[in-house]
Amino acid sequence: MPVVGWHASHEQIPPSQLLRDIQLAEQAGFHAAWSSDHITPWSTRQGESGFALSWLGAAMATTSIPVGVVSTPGQRYHPVVMAQALATLAEMFPGRLSAGFGSGEFMNEHITGDPWPDKATRNARLKESVDVIRALFAGEEVTHHGLVRVDRARLWSLPEQPPRMLALAVSEATARWAAEWADGLVTIWQPAGMLKRIVAAFRENGGEDKPLAMQVHVSWAPDDDEAESIAFDQWRSNVFEAPLCWNLATAEEFDLAAKYVRPEDMYRSVVISSDPARFVECVREAVDLGFDEIYLHHVGQVQQPFIETFGRDVLPALG
């Protein structure tokens, strides 16, 4: 049976409610969880954005499942600050923490007032940041002068086992590059042909034995019309491909960009159904493509009915 996890979307749900939701997800039988990490939501309709690194401490203290976080060191977070935060969590909760690192989105990073680099520069900055973080996890004192700058930094509270550092990739090129340095890969649900190419690019360039994880955006409700309505209300600002989604600055800009998105457009990026069997099929398709871990993100703001239904009708069917 694959690892089937639940995704905590800070952009949509207050952190206090997300804390109750992750506890419910563990009780329902989800094997793990992942968390987003935003300073702003994708839409004013979503309307939340708690601080994930604070929330992770509470979430891990009140559950026993592995938990990961998707984030970006290099601009909003100095890599030394990110390393200290992750090391503290990993020391308190051994073997349970993962971090998924990507090159970031302008919506989160522009708050520093620094220029927004092009994609190649952001990738280079991410690689420098990961190198700094790994060296700090190894107990080294780090000084570095490059796209990020570090002066005589050292972590004094270290975990016995550093957290996994996976790369976020939605294209073949990024997957190929990330295979050289990441402990694994995280991608999103896409057409099977694209996913096969992403997996092959990662496997063929150094990722042969590394784990593959996938986030799947889903919308479940007791009837199909309601499931579609939830997806359209909450996730229509999230349907844009790169580079547009990388370069918008505010929730209001995303809402403006989504002005002409139609309900039927949601099916390209969200698995929408009232039938639990459709989601069983979706997870099995991901496993057949080689993914070890599948994290389901119900795009609605109310999680309890989804968690309970999947705990009863989806997870047991995958055993």
SS3 content of the chain, % helix, strand, coil (to 5): 45, 20, 35
Compute φ and ψ for 103, nearest 5 degrees. Answer: -80, -10
Q: Among 58, 27, 23, which residue's Cα sits nearest to residue 312?
A: 27
* Active-site residue, 217 included: no
Q: Distance between CA 103 and CA 268 in Å, rounded? A: 24
Structure tokens at 3: 């690892």
Structure tokens at 319: 């055993």
Residue 305 is predicted with a pLDDT of: 98
Residue 297 is predicted with a pLDDT of: 98
Residue 142 is predicted with a pLDDT of: 98
Residue 1 is predicted with a pLDDT of: 79
pLDDT band at 319 (very low <50, low <70, confident <90, very high): confident
Q: Distance between CA 258 and CA 312 in Å, rounded? A: 35
| Per-chain mean pLDDT for the chain | 97
Structure tokens at 37: 């990490």
Chain centroid to CA 291: 15
Catalytic residue among 38, 78, 110, 298: 38
Span 165-208, pLDDT tens digits: 999 999 999 999 999 999 999 999 999 999 999 999 999 999 99
Q: Which whole number is the average pLDDT over 206-234?
A: 97
Dump the DSSP string for 170-233.
Answer: SSHHHHHHHTTT-SSEEEE---HHHHHHHHHHHHHTT-TTS-EEEEEEEEE-SSHHHHHHHHHH
Span 272-316, pLDDT tens digits: 999 999 999 999 999 999 999 999 999 999 999 999 999 999 999
Radius of gyration of the chain (CA): 19
- The SS3 assignment for 166 reads strand
Span 32-83, pLDDT tens digits: 999 999 999 999 999 999 999 999 999 999 999 999 999 999 999 999 999 9
- The SS3 assignment for 268 reads helix
Catalytic residue among 10, 26, 78, 105: 105
* Active-site residue, 26 included: no
Structure tokens at 84: 């200290």
Residue 11: is its pLDDT beyond 90?
Answer: yes
Q: Which whole number is the average pLDDT over 240-252?
A: 95
Buried b / exposed e along 178-214 (16+ C-beta atoms within 10 A): bbeebbbbbbbbbeeeebebbbebbbeeebeebbbbb
Residue 180 is predicted with a pLDDT of: 93
pLDDT band at 84 (very low <50, low <70, confident <90, very high): very high
